[in-house]
Amino acid sequence: MNTPPSAPCNGSPEPTSGLGAATVVQLRLYVAGQSPNSVLALSNLEQFCKSLPPGSFELRIVDVWAQPSMALQAALVVTPTLELLTPSGDKRRLLGTLNDPVKLQNLVASVAT
Protein backbone atom coordinates (compact mmCIF):
# COMPACT_ATOMS: atom_id res chain seq x y z
CA MET A 1 0.00 0.00 0.00
CA ASN A 2 1.86 3.04 -1.25
CA THR A 3 -1.03 5.45 -0.87
CA PRO A 4 -0.16 8.49 1.25
CA PRO A 5 -2.35 9.24 4.29
CA SER A 6 -5.76 10.55 3.30
CA ALA A 7 -5.04 10.23 -0.41
CA PRO A 8 -7.92 10.33 -2.88
CA CYS A 9 -8.32 7.67 -5.55
CA ASN A 10 -10.90 8.31 -8.22
CA GLY A 11 -12.45 6.41 -11.04
CA SER A 12 -12.33 8.04 -14.46
CA PRO A 13 -13.92 11.51 -14.51
CA GLU A 14 -16.65 10.50 -16.96
CA PRO A 15 -19.26 8.20 -15.41
CA THR A 16 -21.04 5.54 -17.43
CA SER A 17 -24.11 3.44 -16.60
CA GLY A 18 -25.21 1.85 -13.33
CA LEU A 19 -24.06 4.09 -10.51
CA GLY A 20 -23.27 6.62 -13.21
CA ALA A 21 -23.53 10.36 -13.41
CA ALA A 22 -26.27 10.84 -10.83
CA THR A 23 -24.53 8.97 -8.04
CA VAL A 24 -20.87 9.24 -7.16
CA VAL A 25 -20.28 6.95 -4.21
CA GLN A 26 -18.02 8.50 -1.59
CA LEU A 27 -15.88 5.82 0.07
CA ARG A 28 -13.41 6.37 2.88
CA LEU A 29 -11.16 3.50 3.96
CA TYR A 30 -9.54 3.91 7.36
CA VAL A 31 -6.39 1.80 7.72
CA ALA A 32 -3.65 1.35 10.29
CA GLY A 33 -0.45 1.83 8.33
CA GLN A 34 0.89 -1.28 6.64
CA SER A 35 -0.78 -3.76 9.00
CA PRO A 36 -1.69 -7.04 7.27
CA ASN A 37 -5.45 -6.47 7.61
CA SER A 38 -5.17 -2.92 6.28
CA VAL A 39 -3.15 -4.03 3.26
CA LEU A 40 -5.64 -6.84 2.59
CA ALA A 41 -8.65 -4.51 2.93
CA LEU A 42 -7.13 -2.02 0.50
CA SER A 43 -6.35 -4.76 -1.98
CA ASN A 44 -9.86 -6.20 -1.74
CA LEU A 45 -11.43 -2.76 -2.10
CA GLU A 46 -9.29 -1.86 -5.10
CA GLN A 47 -10.33 -5.14 -6.75
CA PHE A 48 -13.99 -4.42 -6.01
CA CYS A 49 -13.74 -0.86 -7.36
CA LYS A 50 -12.61 -2.29 -10.71
CA SER A 51 -16.12 -3.74 -11.04
CA LEU A 52 -17.74 -0.30 -10.62
CA PRO A 53 -18.39 1.98 -13.56
CA PRO A 54 -15.53 4.45 -14.07
CA GLY A 55 -16.19 7.75 -12.33
CA SER A 56 -18.92 6.31 -10.11
CA PHE A 57 -16.88 6.44 -6.93
CA GLU A 58 -14.39 8.52 -5.02
CA LEU A 59 -12.13 6.66 -2.64
CA ARG A 60 -10.11 8.31 0.09
CA ILE A 61 -7.58 6.30 2.09
CA VAL A 62 -6.98 7.52 5.64
CA ASP A 63 -4.04 6.13 7.60
CA VAL A 64 -5.11 6.58 11.22
CA TRP A 65 -1.52 6.23 12.45
CA ALA A 66 -0.53 9.24 10.38
CA GLN A 67 -3.77 11.13 11.08
CA PRO A 68 -5.13 10.02 14.46
CA SER A 69 -7.37 13.08 14.69
CA MET A 70 -9.38 11.78 11.71
CA ALA A 71 -9.95 8.48 13.54
CA LEU A 72 -11.12 10.35 16.62
CA GLN A 73 -13.35 12.63 14.59
CA ALA A 74 -14.92 9.60 12.87
CA ALA A 75 -15.27 7.82 16.25
CA LEU A 76 -13.46 4.75 14.89
CA VAL A 77 -12.89 1.75 17.08
CA VAL A 78 -11.62 -0.77 14.53
CA THR A 79 -9.39 -0.68 11.47
CA PRO A 80 -9.76 -1.37 8.69
CA THR A 81 -13.13 0.35 8.37
CA LEU A 82 -14.81 1.29 5.12
CA GLU A 83 -17.15 4.25 5.45
CA LEU A 84 -19.66 5.07 2.75
CA LEU A 85 -21.06 8.60 2.74
CA THR A 86 -24.58 8.83 1.36
CA PRO A 87 -25.87 11.82 -0.61
CA SER A 88 -28.13 12.65 2.36
CA GLY A 89 -25.10 12.83 4.67
CA ASP A 90 -25.63 9.48 6.39
CA LYS A 91 -22.66 7.21 6.99
CA ARG A 92 -22.62 3.46 6.59
CA ARG A 93 -19.71 1.29 7.66
CA LEU A 94 -18.26 -2.08 6.86
CA LEU A 95 -15.52 -3.42 9.13
CA GLY A 96 -12.69 -5.82 8.45
CA THR A 97 -10.71 -6.95 5.42
CA LEU A 98 -13.58 -6.44 2.96
CA ASN A 99 -13.18 -9.96 1.61
CA ASP A 100 -16.89 -10.43 0.83
CA PRO A 101 -17.71 -8.73 -2.50
CA VAL A 102 -21.45 -9.34 -1.94
CA LYS A 103 -21.38 -7.22 1.24
CA LEU A 104 -19.48 -4.51 -0.64
CA GLN A 105 -21.96 -4.61 -3.52
CA ASN A 106 -24.93 -4.42 -1.13
CA LEU A 107 -23.37 -1.46 0.65
CA VAL A 108 -22.80 0.45 -2.59
CA ALA A 109 -26.18 -0.57 -4.02
CA SER A 110 -27.95 0.77 -0.94
CA VAL A 111 -26.85 4.27 -1.95
CA ALA A 112 -27.34 3.89 -5.70
CA THR A 113 -31.02 2.99 -5.42
Number of folded domains in the chain? 1
Domain CATH number, residue 107:
3.40.30.10
Q: Is residue 1 part of a domain?
A: no
Length of the chain: 113
Q: What pairing do the DSSP bridges indicate for beta strands 81-85 and 25-31?
A: antiparallel
Tell whether 101 is covered by a domain.
yes
Mean pLDDT along residues 10-34 = 66
Confidence of residue 5 (pLDDT cuts 50, 70, 90): very low
Q: Could you tell me if residue 2 is inside a domain?
A: no
Look at residue 95 and tell me if it is in a domain: yes
pLDDT tens-digit readout, 87-107: 788 899 999 999 999 999 998
Is 60 part of any domain? yes
Domain span at 45 = 7-112
Answer whether residue 72 is part of any domain: yes
Residue pLDDT, tens place only, 45-82: 999 999 888 888 899 999 999 999 999 999 999 999 99
DSSP codes of every residue in 24-61: -EEEEEEE-TT-HHHHHHHHHHHHHHTTSPTTSEEEEE
